[in-house]
Structure 1
């Protein structure tokens, strides 16, 4: 395994991305505290992203609106515009590509690059050029923090450290940190354990049982010990990453297609939640077919007051809307039997799981319906083609009435980059 002797990776994270895009596009919002919310007209939801001005008051992402307003009475609430953020993401990547090739877009607001000789020699100059290119060609209100290190994991941590340092200096945004291998591991020891990629709440509890509560203590473990704590090879891989080795990401296999949504107040009944879940499932089914997969299971998750409800139903190996909707109706029959009629549902999640690729589909010998399935697949193929041609949902099964705030299936996302097809 190779251990680089110099910096080889850049990690970039846009600062307050969704809120800064709003400020760039609307002059009235510039220099003012902004909170992006799922939909307008209600205080019974959460701020899902906020500007640096709002953060200066203590407002945080995923904070209840009433709590955010208590901290910042002048907070301006802006309903989300996911397609705007998707287009901004694409525009920003084009500008960055004019300076350095992008290796991977990790999410809608994060990316990583492999440094060339010039970038390794002058990281400050490279960072300055990237930021100036964005400022001149996109806008000055979209800023970014950049970290440089020997590998992707350390560069991500350096990026976060640079952002935190700029915040402490009263200059939130435009952070920069360069962790040369000859500086390590001292900068790493200043990082909180919670800020180490791969160390979530549950893992911190496991580490605490092993008397590991700081990043320095984690660094000083042995690789086999970390594998034991993680109960997988991921712990050992993290050890090598923290010690500066070139660790490549394991290729990820597609596991599911799903969508979730916070419900507007008028849709928080069982019938209202059913309709939104149905539309979300239509979008998930379209994605399933675009990427040429079949599914064998459908999951439904509901957030209700002080509790949640979850159920799975099995399906034949299918991807057509008729079969998927049949399973969906079965799930909601369970909901109506098991939950009181007046139940308030705050959030719904629907997921197609147990996937197989189209060229590996296994038919169920006890359910000889392949002729029916082929008929429905042809019908869905024709509908999908028409919708794609006109970039709009013009052909559909059942009613098509997106809820308040729209964006069924194309909602704001920190982990998945929406495609244009998600928005019709």
Structure 2
């Protein structure tokens, strides 16, 4: 049987800072970017700050309004990457089938049916039991695979506290596919451990949560489902596949499967991922603007999108390229009525997959290639 663990650190950047500085522990902490962003965007929030309603990505002034006592700490990407490497080193003791989803989130597959992999998982499981003092073998009434996985998850938590830091916690979800493992991990935070072992448990969980509590249904998809009269997973299961395909194209099949806890996506170990040479995003402004604040907000969003894709692929980059294009309406020069002009430049920084660092580098380039006088985009 396939057994998937989803491991997600709780308030990762902020917790790492609290681990490094005991004086921050138990206090609301916000992690910021470089100098230019310290007074604008919050890169991460501690568990204590979140209790006041503070959220990652929030403007600093908003965070201070909700939590006047919040302590702002500059981010340290090298520290976070080093902590992640130590964490991954622990996980590799249990299985070679490890997919890094982001800097603070990953999937493990413990029981592959292929011979060698299955043997590796069992050897790692026995090793965990031996170190932790557990007796091999599941308790009565528990499926062996899931009970073994739960014991391994508990021991991973113990090792994180012992080898990385007692203040760092993670939530772990265990299930039979990636979709349900990730959902299980989100149900009990912080420091949770939830097992969804079969279809019956899956249906019970899905029928108790909102549509957007599952990975893959965001605000736009949820709104489109609501417009179709679908407000929960019970209703979504009743929707004919043909109707979902008509409204959502190929993604309709994904939604149909989600409502039933079905996910066929394979776990892709980081060493199996294909080479990626560049990652980028672009945005078209549908109106003229010379507002630097608006351009800055768009550039920050693009930087975070690039960073998220880098983290999802377990990649870092060091060359930042920024390019812009302007459209001028000159009907006599173009059959479409528009003529385009643009410019671009690149800069090299240290390796990173941090959105704020990418933004800082891109913002410097922007000021080099875009004259401040009468700027429009």
TM-score (norm 2): 0.64
Task: Please list, as runs of the form range in 1=range in 2, the aligned pairs for 1:341-356 lying within 5 A after superposition.
Answer: none
Following the alignment from structure 2 to structure 1, what is the Cα–Cα distance between the partners of residues 343 and 242? 47
| Cα drift, residue 211 of structure 1 | 0.7
Q: Note the 1:5-404 alignment, pairs <5 A.
A: 8-40=3-35, 44-116=39-111, 119-163=145-189, 173-181=190-198, 182-232=200-250, 234-249=251-266, 256-258=278-280, 300=323, 331-332=342-343
Structure 2: give runs of 5+ residues left out of the alignment: 112-121, 126-144, 283-290, 316-320, 328-340, 359-377
For each residue in 1:28-72, what CA deviation from the matched residue of structure 2 results, as whole angstroms up to 9, or x when unmatched? 222221101112476531111111111122111111111111111
- Cα 1:259–1:86 shift into 2, 3 Å: farther
Say which SS state the counterpart of residue 257 (structure 1) adopts: coil
- CA deviations on 1:254-280 (whole Å, 9 max, x unpaired) are 5952389xxxxxxx979xx9xx99xx9
Note the C-alpha offset of 1:129: 0.5
In 1, Cα distance between equivalents of 2:174 and 2:108: 10
SS at 2:352 equivalent: coil
TM-align CA RMSD: 3.8
Q: Which runs of 5+ in 1 are unaligned?
A: 1-5, 164-172, 261-267, 292-297, 302-309, 313-329, 334-349, 351-396, 417-424
Q: Deviations over 1:365-396 (max 9, x none)?
A: xxxxxxxxxxxxxxxxxxxxxxxxxxxxxxxx
The equivalent residue for 1:317 is none
Provide the C-alpha distance between the structure 2 equivalents of 1:34 and 1:223, rounded to a whole number of angstroms: 46
Q: CA deviation at 1:80?
A: 1.4
SS at 2:17 equivalent: helix
8 Å contact from structure 1 (residues 23, 29) kept in 2: yes
Aligned to 2:132: none
Asked if the contact 2:94/2:110 (under 8 Å) is kept, the reply is no
Q: Secondary structure at the match of 1:31?
A: coil
2:92 and 2:98 in contact (8 A); partners too: no
Cα distance in 2 for residues equivalent to 1:216 and 1:55: 31
| Count of residues in Structure 1 that have an aligned counterpart in Structure 2 | 281
For the residue of structure 2 that corresponds to 1:183, the secondary structure is helix
How much does 1:95 deviate? 1.1
1:18 counterpart SS class: helix
Aligned to 2:334: none
**1:224 Cα shift?**
3.4
CA apart distance, 1:242: 4.2
Indicate the SS of the match to 1:207: helix
SS in 2 for 1:48: strand
CA distance in 2 between counterparts of 1:26 and 1:176 reads 27
1: CA distance, partners of 2:205 / 2:76 = 38
Cα deviation, 1:93-126, whole Å, max 9, x if unaligned, reads 1112223444311111111111337652333312
Say if 2:31 and 2:42, in contact at 8 Å, map to a contact too: yes
Superposition TM-score, scaled by structure 1 size:
0.57
